[in-house]
Amino acid sequence: MKEGKHFKVSAIKNGTVIDHIPSKTVFKVISILNLDKLEDKMITFGSNFESKKLGSKGIIKISDKYFDREDIDKISLIAPQAKISIIKDYEVVHKEVVEIPDKIVGIVKCINPNCISNHEKIQSKFLVLSKEDVSLKCHYCEKITSQTDLNLI
Amino acid sequence: MVSKSLVSITDCTKEEYLRILNLAKEFEANPHQNILNGKIVATLFFEPSTRTRLSFESAVLRLGGRIIGFSEASSSSSSKGETFSDTIRTVSNYCDLLIIRHPLEGTARLASELTSLPVINAGDGSNQHPTQTLLDMYSIQKTQGRLDNLTLTLVGDLKYGRTVHSLIMAMATFKPVFYFVSPEELKLPDDYRVFLKQNNIEYHETTQLPHAMKVADIVYMTRVQRERFLDPMEYEKTKNAYILKAEMLSDTKPNMKVLHPLPRINEISTDVDSTDKAYYFQQALNGVYTRQAIISHVLGLK
């Protein structure tokens, strides 16, 4: 730890830090990762911090918790610039900026009520047409689900 | 030839379109070929579509195949609550090819992933109806002698018209010029306009039929349905603007033909039927040849 660095959200020993979350989606990230139901891990978070990149950002730190690819893909859909850091013994051992994958399986609900994926017990599947302004083409019904219609499962 | 499915018109390459159209020409010359001898084809129609089903069944019978299936969901086990997936897995044990019509979108794609048999999509909700598109292309090629560099005028409901959308996507590979004629309420969706721009395809949009008729090689008519209008007054005002009458054909190109996916309600006046421009009934016959071609293509028999 660098001396004099002031942490608004206190450091963790082991676990995951999700930084550069747009303030308005901090609570959404908490919800899609089911952090509100996590009973045995310490979670600290803050929102509405100043950020040169985002204007206003949030940060979440979860002790002793590491996320799988599916969760990271979920984060990428609602906080496309988020940075994930894996912490081991107060040191950052892995860092990555989330990236929306080319295909999305099982984490987004198709906007089309007549799509078979909303009627049968099957995983939804999408081809990502645009990552900037999220645009997903359903593998089944071929209709487009866009950022504003995004509903995570 | 490995067997495969025909689910979406966008799955086909230009070479595949041309291959299927060439096969259709072969079947037109020689419609009765016993290549499906000993094969069983299942026609699973979860919603009624008599015209499409009979066209497929005629194609199968002309090829010497046999048919099992149902013509509406109430006569299938889905009325007892069986899932679509279970129906497909079960019926796959009884046949060599599945032809599926369903009111929900994406059903044919799902079916193709649940079975190792080839699947032909005979219409999945508002999404795709690729055999209709191929028979439209066959009719265009047959009447014009080519597919390249044609002027296609599409008329009527361009917003919800599934056949129109698929035809645009498929013909885009043949450098067409499109004229889109529709009331404001039923204009072509943005997605297709973006697609055409990206592919540098010339298109014009208008609410007026006459000019778009004069320049056309093909006039493709569709139904303007009352239920598409929020305001019934608007429907009454606009419906007559999109009715094709024999008197409107006088100033058209000699090679021009009128196509319609059928059923027609009143958008083509019956006085057009006896003119040499009317091609919609032959188009339906072409549907049988095209479906023979598609069946033998997906089964790897040709």
Tell me: do B229 and B175 sit in the same domain.
Answer: yes
Tell me: do B217 and B73 sit in the same domain.
Answer: no
Instruction: Output Rg (C-alpha) for chain A, integer angstroms.
Output: 17
Instruction: Work out how many domains chain B is built from and give that number.
Output: 2
Sign of CA dihedral B151, B155, B159, B164: negative
B124 within a domain of the structure (yes/no): yes
Q: A59-68, B71-80, B196-205, B282-291: which has the minimum mean pLDDT?
A: B71-80
Q: What is the pLDDT of residue B96?
A: 97
- pLDDT tens-place string over residues A30-80: 999 999 998 899 999 999 999 888 889 999 999 999 999 989 999 999 998
B187 within a domain of the structure (yes/no): yes
Tell me: do B155 and B192 sit in the same domain.
Answer: yes
The answer to whether residue B105 neighbours chain A at the CB level (below 8 Å) is yes
Tell me: do B200 and B85 sit in the same domain.
Answer: no
CB contact under 8 A, B106 and A121: no
Query: Which residues fall within 8 angstroms of residue A141, CB to CB, at 6 or more apart?
Result: A110, A112, A114, A115, A116, A117, B104, B105, B106, B124, B125, B127
Indicate if the pLDDT at residue B1 is higher than 50.
no
Indicate the pLDDT class of residue B13, thresholds 50, 70 and 90.
very high
B271: left (phi over 0), alpha (psi -120 to 50) or beta: alpha
Tell me: do B21 and B79 sit in the same domain.
Answer: yes
Nearest-CA residue of chain A relative to B103?
A114
Q: ipTM above 0.95?
A: no
Tell me: do B243 and B175 sit in the same domain.
Answer: yes
B1 within a domain of the structure (yes/no): no
Q: What are phi and psi of A73, to 5 degrees?
A: -60, -40
| Residue B57 structure tokens | 């069944």
- Measured CA distances, B58 to A22, A119, B197 (Å): 60, 32, 40
Chain B environment of A138 (Cβ under 8 Å): 106
Indicate if the pLDDT at residue B239 is higher than 80.
no
- Read off the CATH number of the domain in which B28 is found: 3.40.50.1370
Long-range contacts of A67-70 (CB under 8 A, 24+ apart): A67/A16, A67/A33, A70/A106, A70/A107
Indicate if the pLDDT at residue B63 is higher than 60.
yes
- pLDDT tens-place string over residues B106-140: 999 999 999 999 999 999 998 999 999 999 999 99
Tell me: do B115 and B38 sit in the same domain.
Answer: yes
Rounded CA-CA distance B25/B19 in Å is 10
How are beta strands B151-155 and B97-102 bridged, if at all? unpaired
Instruction: Provide the residue range defining the domain that includes B88.
Output: 9-128+287-298
Rounded CA-CA distance A143/A125 in Å is 12
Tell me: do B137 and B279 sit in the same domain.
Answer: yes
Tell me: do B134 and B265 sit in the same domain.
Answer: yes
The answer to whether residue A137 neighbours chain B at the CB level (below 8 Å) is no
Rounded CA-CA distance B110/B100 in Å is 11
Tell me: do B61 and B103 sit in the same domain.
Answer: yes
Structural domains in chain A, CATH included, are 2-97 (3.30.70.140), 103-149 (2.30.30.20)
Tell me: do B279 and B136 sit in the same domain.
Answer: yes
B4 within a domain of the structure (yes/no): no
Tell me: do B45 and B105 sit in the same domain.
Answer: yes
